[in-house]
């Protein structure tokens, strides 16, 4: 495991923006070994970082959110954490998954050793969880993708207690790089600023540089609001002839491009994936995420993982037609598509609760895609794991993944 930390020089560009505003996001994210010949390495050039990532052309993934990790991170010693995470790897392997998306930066914090972000409050011991995660998962031939939320930060009270990190310094000095959003206790980074995008991209590169991760992954927490006041003054200074929507959309695309470039500069074999909302229109209308461009053009991501968290009978976005729309979009370029599936809706939404084997059926319907991923680990292996219904669901998923 690599331990050489990179020095970071972030340009400090003083700007000012407005504050506040909120929007309700619909279908918000809440977010196993194939035969050796399925392993692919797309780049033949020499690895810059020295690590040869393990990635699968056909991913069978599962998300491990910070909520899933929290009970494991209660371990005081690395040995205890290893025992807990080993149990998770056994479950994931036996289910038939080959890839995990591990939540490493949920709130501008780090579930790993970082010079750029403060240590996560979820870590209860003096050890490096990500070092254990990479080593243990790779023993099971499981690919490890580091999952980050680029823009979401801690609460104001928590960030005020932190020092020595760029986000805390911005907050303490009332720098407009850090913004508030009405109705949200968390602070947010403003992606309009080059220094913000540089920090986010450098943070992704730091993980790739110092750990044997196989991918960098991020989901749909882009702009947290559509309220013009969030960055009104900033837009007035930078917007030029663009509309607010065009300007914000370009800011997010530029952020994605910079993440991709910095990670690939560390190791071109590391896969970069994005998981936007399954509702294509919501990505544009609420999050300023140009998903069609990211699928069509090179340089944004290697894999798209839309959260198609809908049932077959959904009146707005039925599963099959939504899947077809995404397949058509990703067919326009070289980006692979893995489909995110909502295991968590079993017990929460009627169609998913009443239809036994619905996730297994959806896995089968994704046969023409390059993978599926299940949200989340706890939904399968948490407290509900012992119920008869979940045992049946797991058996059906295992069978579908075996055939996938």
**Cβ-contact 217, 303 below 8 angstroms:** no
Query: Which residues in the chain come in under a pLDDT of 50?
Result: 1-47
CA distance 149 to 221: 6
| pLDDT tens digits, 3-30 | 333 333 344 333 334 333 333 333 333 2
Alpha helices in 297-349 (DSSP H): 319-330
**H or E segment to which residue 216 belongs:** strand 215-218
What are the structural domain ranges in the chain?
36-403
CB 317 within 8 A of CB 310: yes
Question: Which pTM does this prediction carry?
Answer: 0.88
Contact 178, 190 (CB under 8 A): yes
DSSP state of 102: E
d(CA 108, CA 298): 28
pLDDT of residue 119: 98
Q: Which is nearest to 68 in space by CA: 384, 392, 378?
A: 378
- Please give the distance of CA 348 from its chain centroid, rounded to a whole number: 23
Residue 22's CB is within 10 A of a number of other CB atoms, namely 15
What confidence score (pLDDT) does residue 32 get? 29
CA distance 83 to 240: 55
CA-CA distance, 249 to 283, in Å (whole number)? Answer: 10
Place of tokens 């989340």: 376
**Is residue 131 helix, strand or coil?**
helix
**Beta-sheet strands, E only, within 54-165:** 59-64, 99-105, 143-148, 152-155
Beta bridge partners of 374: 62, 341
pLDDT tens-digit map of 327-357: 999 999 999 999 999 999 998 999 999 999 9
**3.60.150.10, 3.40.50.620, 3.40.710.10, 3.20.20.80: which CATH number matches 36-403?**
3.20.20.80
Q: Quote the pLDDT of residue 233.
A: 87
């Amino acid at each position: 495991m690599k331990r050489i930390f990179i020095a970071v020089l972030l340009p400090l560009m003083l700007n000012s923006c407005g504050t506040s505003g909120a929007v309700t996001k619909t279908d918000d994210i809440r977010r196993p070994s194939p035969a050796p010949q399925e392993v692919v390495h797309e780049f033949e050039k020499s690895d810059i970082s020295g690590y040869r990532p393990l990635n699968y052309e056909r991913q069978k993934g599962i998300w491990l959110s910070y909520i899933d990790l929290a009970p494991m991170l209660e371990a005081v010693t690395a040995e205890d954490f290893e025992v807990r995470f080993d149990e998770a790897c056994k479950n994931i392997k036996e289910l038939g998954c080959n890839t995990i998306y591990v939540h490493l930066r949920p709130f501008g914090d780090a579930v790993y050793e970082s010079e750029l972000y403060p240590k996560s409050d979820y870590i209860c011991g003096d050890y490096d969880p990500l070092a254990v995660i990479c080593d243990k998962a790779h023993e099971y031939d499981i690919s490890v993708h580091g999952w980050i939320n680029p823009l979401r930060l801690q609460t104001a009270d928590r960030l005020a207690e932190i020092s020595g990190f760029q986000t805390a310094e911005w907050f303490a000095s009332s720098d407009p790089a850090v913004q508030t959003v009405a109705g949200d206790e968390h602070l947010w980074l403003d992606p309009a600023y080059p220094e913000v995008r540089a920090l986010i991209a450098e943070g992704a590169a730091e993980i790739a540089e110092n750990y044997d991760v196989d991918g960098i992954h991020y989901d749909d927490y882009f702009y947290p609001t559509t309220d013009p006041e969030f960055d009104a003054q900033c837009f007035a200074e930078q917007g030029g002839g663009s509309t607010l929507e065009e300007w914000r959309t370009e800011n997010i695309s530029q952020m994605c491009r910079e993440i991709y470039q910095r990670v690939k500069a560390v190791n071109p074999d590391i896969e970069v994936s994005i998981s936007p909302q399954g509702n294509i229109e919501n990505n544009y209308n609420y999050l300023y995420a140009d998903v069609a461009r990211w699928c069509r053009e090179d340089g944004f991501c290697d894999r798209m993982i839309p959260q198609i968290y809908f049932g077959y009978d959904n009146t707005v976005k039925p599963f099959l037609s939504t899947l077809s729309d995404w397949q058509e979009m990703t067919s326009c370029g070289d980006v692979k598509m893995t489909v995110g599936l909502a295991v968590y809706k079993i017990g929460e939404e009627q169609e998913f609760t009443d239809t036994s084997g619905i996730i297994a059926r959806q896995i089968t319907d994704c046969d023409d895609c390059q993978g599926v991923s299940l949200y989340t680990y706890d939904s399968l292996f948490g407290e509900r794991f012992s119920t008869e219904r979940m045992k049946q669901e797991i058996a059906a998923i295992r069978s579908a993944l075996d055939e996938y």
